[in-house]
Structure 1
């Protein structure tokens, strides 16, 4: 019995371009472009190696064997023509020393099939052709040769051009692609993906557990200190809570001495103003950053309450050779939890502050019958009125014009209160008689705290100006109305400074008090009535002229310079003022009395003179 069979180790099968095109389509749709590319290059490589093995048996030189590739290419039907220009340098033993080629594939079947199913491509797609040429050439030369398609008609280029180089002459990215053809198995990639997913799952579970612990703590009414303890217990990472000026008011897992050392290390890495203030303008809401310092790494996230940054939370790491990408997940959730804490406290604070404001207004208007009862009630509101305290006035302007918008004023009062709450400093504050008035306990570093409050307000409410006037320190609630007048007087007397103590004002400010202020206003308005009754523009013009002339002791030349007037214009105004007031402005008695009245009205806020 005989059978018609051939003992061929590697049978050559014939198929159509349409069949291969359908296979390509299924591969790309199932595996994706990147994995399909590796599969098709490997497929082409193996065909190229098979054909190279056939050519190797022929008694040809290496050059001739390499030239045979185009015939196989054409016979396979993959292309209709091949144009190439090759540089080949051989050693004496016919081995390859250097090889480089450029060429063009004419009418690639892969272009036809790919565009038929997928349309125009974003990348080169003649993967089988590139793999074939790479495999064929590498096998015959016994060197690693890699062909890369550089332009492709499938993506709209004029031709399918390729370049051939020895693998060591390609860049690192191309070398890595070459390795994938031989070393990358799909099962290995799946295992790697599984490992990555498993690690992501563990991280997600840890982050979720961390988030749940924080959420549970907030739901149970934990304060910020307790939330920070929960963060530290879960992560074992030092945590710092700071305000917008990077003043620390909560820390855990780190000593004060260590904090001072790390603060200097941190400041050296950050942009600063001339005064040494750290700049963080690039840190936007909901955005965390990593700051690599010399001695530590700091992860920082803003604390955002109702779209307003009120401070920062930081994680501190001593190690500087670690990727902290995963830790950012924990930091963001910690920041969100702290923000929720402050939001809860803000809601509670608003109710308490409303009650405090009503109580403070009672003190300002002296609407009480028992001092001891009021002192006891203030103690329940965390302020001991048996200790010394100040009455302050916050003057708010925008481009020099006083702010009257109650909504804006309430926002500023809230920001003022929250800032002091973060520093655990209790106050009474209210908008009273169109003034923002507050009661502030006399404590160490009062000036520094007030300075930081102004910095905070300037950063939060840009384009607004803020000044603070403070009364003398008092300890008797009966003196509060007079202390309020002192705080306003401080602002009226000194308009050059942004924090003014009543003790630092002129003697004039001390002479005027609540008892005689109404009498002084009455006298001043009577004496200056001819000017005060003029139309606003004229009134302002004559008051300014009168004040400048008296302030310069009747010196016409200096007054002319101060007012930017001509001499004739100034003389006219002086004569007109003397007619209106029926006084000789060069008379020392008259000029002293008028200057006294003008300063009194300025101090009492009845008039303003720039």
Structure 2
């Protein structure tokens, strides 16, 4: 069979920014902050995988559109750098190499070398973490790999050889052939059709945009269930429902019943320090066959601690396939990022809420209209009576502070509250119109019992005082004369 080689001489691509690129550059900036947070929370390895996969699916999507628009492979290749620049990832690129074809015009081998000009990833890494020991442009490598592999219908490998973030002069990379990717179906195609990998990649690609647009975890789970025909469930570290879709109330109750039994058995096995030990029990693709359902489960880990579980659920006997494992693995990446991003937003909101609460308690706000305006932002009616509760721990709670606050918010989700946390104390302002003081006492009695049940090694004391808005300036004085006192049990 005759062969021919096309040589691509060194070519420099630049792109002048247009009005239509503003959104893409905003996304690139958002990506830069997200990657920094991913590295901080989940470590370099997980952040690298997620950003490479994101870039890869962007490349695949763009290449598919260009294959529909252009016939000549060289024309398609020329569009790649321009599309890459428009996304705000780079400001230009240099490329040279060759493509070897078979006589039927199919590609045999590819080799090339290029340079990315002004990589946003390199800049972000230097700004946030300083100089790196290794190249860091993972989104860029992912985009180039996905784009080129789709264009050539070959699996190609793109490796960054030098990087500005490593102290090198430029971000240079090589591309070369790995394996051919046939267009024709193979024996696995029927199975693979159940979860089109392109669709799976598209979900990952939509992840960043979904975060920017404010999509919820439920939105992502619903899209995944439509695409894959599977039911997903996210639970917190106590196996409480956190996020789910497509579950009937009856199924939900059956699952909760199973998990209460499983949770208690695991607590008995782990002993008094079950919470701390459970945080360290990271696992992947664990199958649980319980009385009412079967599940394939992954842990979601942040800062080397288990913070949640993502499960694929079946209410009927089922043997999970290798493809189920792959789906769950990819979905774990997506949900991990969404939960992490939500946690960042919640942390920022919690900081604002804590500041506002402290300003009230320390009489630092004097403008009534400002108080009312800011209270509306936190969806509380400061004109109502409210109860101030001070929760105190004798032991350090720094390591489980976030879990305790999240647990309290879930427990009091039917009430409007403000929370401020400082050192070993947590202050809750609970707004209500209750006249019966015993009802307030019951709310905090149940809260304390629930906290001791979930965190038995961290007994808590609760001091409460009921206040009226007319006396908000006297909060600190009244707090020193508590109306209710729930001491820690003596045997703790």
TM-score, normalising length: structure 1: 0.40
More strand, by proportion: 2
Higher RCO (CA 8 Å, separation ≥ 6 residues): 2
TM-score, normalising length: structure 2: 0.49
